[in-house]
Chain A
């Protein structure tokens, strides 16, 4: 028996080590169930030992490189700084104007969200961190940052750059954290195609590409379309840039789905500094509100200036048109208001009546019921009643009126209306007779 172990010592050691590691793998892949989730406590302990061994060296080397680089750029290589400052000032001014253009839309959006009771999550606090190392394995796309649980970080916090999302925190140690990049094969995120508003799930691949492979063919999805986070994964806040679509091809392995390849907005291969989103809030953070207020004021000022310019232009145009109309009015005969002979008769003159002064007809010598002004207003007429004798303009004193004593009047049978005579209008024929029922 002893000779057996002695003879096969090498193989037995190999088998024992492989068996132990296989059991260890089996324990690990049993949990966690969720892809990309942090490890169990025992595995985290193993990683913690390894990370504690390696990261101090990484941190030291990174600090040397960082200080050398920043010492050079901050104190020695300051050429073109003034020009760069001027360029940045101009850029700020341009961005302010652009921001003002979007301010109104933003405020309208917030109002609508409030009306619909829509839950929006805004980034309220972030922690800036330096990238100190990688996994060193191209099958595992993770990076290490120099901030950890002591800085308020926790697993599943989103990691971003100003360009776009980077990944999420996987394992958080006291002074270091492991960031799972979005192009890792175990990574995923809920995304939204910006123009088509199609929702999808983004995944990493073994080759380090970012892909979407859960969409059926859609002719609206084209290369170049921007992709944003949808917020549905509860990790990345909504609306952060993810990247742009690079190609749309049929997925040969999973028909009938399409394979959409993305180019990430953030440069995942050369990350220097990242921001970890530590908390979100349903309202805009105070600095953003301040920016929005400034932008709103700028937008108002811009609108007022534009309105003033438009008003001045309109006045100038009106003055020009008036002078032209004056010339025409001097040369052509025009209508005159007989009631106001002194009123200006120019067509361009302002009048309360739309279309200008309507000429009144001359008074008739023998008015009848067809003469203008001989009919009572429609409000005074009563259906079924006889036509009253209208008052004429020539004899206003003889106009029909309500009898002084309505008790003495005798109701008459309805009869055909006589042609009204202006001389002796019958009081009984007045439609204003009160009817007693």
Chain B
């Protein structure tokens, strides 16, 4: 019964998205992320592509899809920076994989769960970026201010909640 319930739950709550949404929403997140800090410099603290990555990963509940979505969004984000291409790609690939794996296990429709997973994934993303920059790329002068990262995680969590509710309307139940 338990096995049947687990399988049914996963099958019931797997969602897909129209191709236009699957392409345009990440693209819009990246463009907005590039546009907003120009008139509002403080909005550079946001990470809209990461919010979108987490949303698609936990909604699809498919680790492979989550990994690929994270990689694509991260690589596109990297291409607009002066960093080597792959820094955000690797971090978001891992985030997509973990988010999809967690989405299978827990109810991601719950508000508290959403708050926790968003907050947690933003901290994990910062930690992954630190590891990649400091140890993989060998940037010894790369530092992370953890208080700043906590504030960033909190702000992004607050921003993520309405975006999640907005994107819930685009879901297609399989």
Interface residues of A (CB under 8 A from B): 9-10, 13-14, 17-18, 21-22, 24-25, 28-29, 36, 43, 46-47, 49-51, 53-54, 57-58, 61-62, 65, 131, 133-140, 142-144, 170, 178, 180, 184-186, 205-207, 269-271
Please report the C-alpha to C-alpha distance between residue A269 and residue B36 in the assembled complex, in whole angstroms. Answer: 12
With known contacts A58-B34, A136-B34, A136-B77, A47–B85 Cβ distance under 8 A: yes
B88 touches A137 (CB 8 A): yes
Select B38's contact among A10, A47, A133, beta carbons within 8 Å.
A133
With known contacts A24-B86, A46-B79, A136-B80, A270–B41 Cβ distance under 8 A: yes
**Complex contacts, A58 vs chain B, CB 8 Å:** 31, 34-35
A131 touches B38 (CB 8 A): yes
**Shortest distance from the beta carbon of B131 to any chain A beta carbon, whole Å:** 12
Q: How many pairs, one residue from A and one from B, have CB atoms within 8 Å of each other in the complex?
A: 146
**Shortest distance from the beta carbon of A325 to any chain B beta carbon, whole Å:** 75
B76 interfacial by beta-carbon distance below 8 Å: yes
A22 touches B68 (CB 8 A): no
Select A133's contact among B34, B41, B136, beta carbons within 8 Å.
B34
A9 touches B64 (CB 8 A): yes
Closest A residue by C-beta to B136:
A25
Closest A residue by C-beta to B48:
A136
B5 interfacial by beta-carbon distance below 8 Å: no
Please report the C-alpha to C-alpha distance between residue A61 and residue B27 in the assembled complex, in whole angstroms. Answer: 14
Specify the main secondary structure of chain B where it touches its partner. Answer: helix
Please report the C-alpha to C-alpha distance between residue A178 and residue B81 in the assembled complex, in whole angstroms. Answer: 9
B44 interfacial by beta-carbon distance below 8 Å: yes
B81 touches A57 (CB 8 A): no
Closest A residue by C-beta to B71:
A17
**Shortest distance from the beta carbon of A170 to any chain B beta carbon, whole Å:** 6
A185 touches B141 (CB 8 A): yes
**Shortest distance from the beta carbon of A31 to any chain B beta carbon, whole Å:** 11
Select A14's contact among B79, B80, B93, B145, beta carbons within 8 Å.
B93
**Complex contacts, B68 vs chain A, CB 8 Å:** 13, 17
**Complex contacts, A54 vs chain B, CB 8 Å:** 27, 30-31, 34, 76, 80
B86 touches A135 (CB 8 A): no
Q: For chain B residues 1-23, which have a beta carbon within 8 Å of chain A?
A: none
B45 interfacial by beta-carbon distance below 8 Å: yes
**Complex contacts, A271 vs chain B, CB 8 Å:** 38
Please report the C-alpha to C-alpha distance between residue A425 and residue B129 in the assembled complex, in whole angstroms. Answer: 119
**Complex contacts, A178 vs chain B, CB 8 Å:** 82
Please report the C-alpha to C-alpha distance between residue A21 and residue B101 in the assembled complex, in whole angstroms. Answer: 21
B67 touches A13 (CB 8 A): yes
| Given A18-B90, A65-B39, 18 new contacts (CB under 8 A) | A17-B93, A25-B137, A43-B84, A43-B85, A50-B80, A54-B30, A61-B35, A134-B44, A136-B33, A136-B34, A136-B36, A136-B44, A137-B77, A139-B81, A139-B83, A185-B139, A186-B82, A205-B141
B86 touches A21 (CB 8 A): yes
With known contacts A10-B63, A50-B79, A185-B141, A21–B97 Cβ distance under 8 A: no
Please report the C-alpha to C-alpha distance between residue A212 and residue B138 in the assembled complex, in whole angstroms. Answer: 22
With known contacts A18-B93, A51-B79, A28–B142 Cβ distance under 8 A: no
Please report the C-alpha to C-alpha distance between residue A205 and residue B71 in the assembled complex, in whole angstroms. Answer: 27
A22 touches B34 (CB 8 A): no
A25 touches B37 (CB 8 A): no
**Shortest distance from the beta carbon of B59 to any chain A beta carbon, whole Å:** 16
With known contacts A134-B44, A135-B34, A207-B145, A140–B82 Cβ distance under 8 A: yes
A134 touches B82 (CB 8 A): no
Please report the C-alpha to C-alpha distance between residue A36 and residue B133 in the assembled complex, in whole angstroms. Answer: 16
Closest A residue by C-beta to B45:
A138
Select B84's contact among A25, A142, A207, A269, beta carbons within 8 Å.
A25
With known contacts A50-B79, A133-B35, A269-B41, A14–B86 Cβ distance under 8 A: no
Select A21's contact among B63, B89, B145, beta carbons within 8 Å.
B89
With known contacts A47-B85, A58-B35, A14–B142 Cβ distance under 8 A: no
Which bucket holds chain B's interface residue count? 35 or more
Please report the C-alpha to C-alpha distance between residue A189 and residue B165 in the assembled complex, in whole angstroms. Answer: 47
B64 touches A13 (CB 8 A): yes
Q: For chain B residues 38-77, which have a beta carbon within 8 Å of chain A?
A: 38-39, 41, 44-45, 49, 63-64, 67-68, 71, 75-77
B137 touches A29 (CB 8 A): yes
**Shortest distance from the beta carbon of B62 to any chain A beta carbon, whole Å:** 8
Q: Show 15 residue pairs from A and B whose CB-CB distance is below 8 angstroms, ordered by the A residue.
A: A10-B101, A17-B71, A25-B85, A25-B136, A28-B85, A29-B84, A51-B80, A54-B31, A54-B80, A61-B35, A134-B38, A135-B82, A137-B88, A142-B81, A270-B38
A14 touches B82 (CB 8 A): no
B31 touches A21 (CB 8 A): no
B76 touches A50 (CB 8 A): yes
B87 interfacial by beta-carbon distance below 8 Å: yes
Please report the C-alpha to C-alpha distance between residue A138 and residue B50 in the assembled complex, in whole angstroms. Answer: 14
Please report the C-alpha to C-alpha distance between residue A25 and residue B87 in the assembled complex, in whole angstroms. Answer: 8
**Complex contacts, B82 vs chain A, CB 8 Å:** 36, 135, 140, 142, 170, 178, 180, 184, 186
B94 interfacial by beta-carbon distance below 8 Å: yes
B45 touches A22 (CB 8 A): no
**Complex contacts, B75 vs chain A, CB 8 Å:** 21
Please report the C-alpha to C-alpha distance between residue A21 and residue B144 in the assembled complex, in whole angstroms. Answer: 23
**Complex contacts, B143 vs chain A, CB 8 Å:** 206
A135 touches B80 (CB 8 A): yes
**Shortest distance from the beta carbon of A160 to any chain B beta carbon, whole Å:** 18
Select B86's contact among A13, A22, A143, beta carbons within 8 Å.
A22
Please report the C-alpha to C-alpha distance between residue A216 and residue B168 in the assembled complex, in whole angstroms. Answer: 58
Please report the C-alpha to C-alpha distance between residue A22 and residue B30 in the assembled complex, in whole angstroms. Answer: 23
